[in-house]
Amino acid sequence: MSAPLEVRIGNAPGWSFRLKRPTGALLDHEAGHVWSGTITDWTSMAVCVSHEGQVATWSIEPAKAGNPLEEIAFGGFYVRGAFRKAMLAHGQKRSALAFKAFVPR
């Protein structure tokens, strides 16, 4: 069973923070292009961060019991909780392909 994740995703001037999450993992709309909430039932997700042309994509999976909490945070957006980063792609083309191909569970 996965531990809950706190998330705040969206777009702001110069920033894009996207999360590919399982169907049914609904978030609350804060304002504009920003959503936040807690995701409780997940096995793997992808996080894609873009800032001024720099792009990185991570795949995350639940951490084993006893591991410290992790955070991916940029530009006021974040994913926080008991997860481990499983894959990373840098660069616009590689990150876009990795994010598009990723299937969340």
Per-residue model confidence as pLDDT tens digits over 58-96: 999 999 888 889 999 999 999 999 999 988 899 999 999
Of 45, 15, 13, 53, nearest to 27 by C-alpha is: 45
Q: Residue 17: which domain range?
A: 5-101
Q: Is the pLDDT of residue 22 over 90?
A: no
Query: Whole-model pTM?
Result: 0.90
What pLDDT is attached to residue 24? 79
What pLDDT is attached to residue 1? 61
Q: Is the pLDDT of residue 20 over 90?
A: yes
Number of structural domains (the chain) is: 1
Q: Is the pLDDT of residue 54 over 80?
A: yes
Percent of the chain predicted with pLDDT > 90: 74
**CB neighbour burial string for 56-78, b if at least 16 within 10 angstroms, e if fewer:** bbbbbbbbeeeeeeeebeebebb
Residue 56 CA to residue 89 CA, distance in Å, equals 6
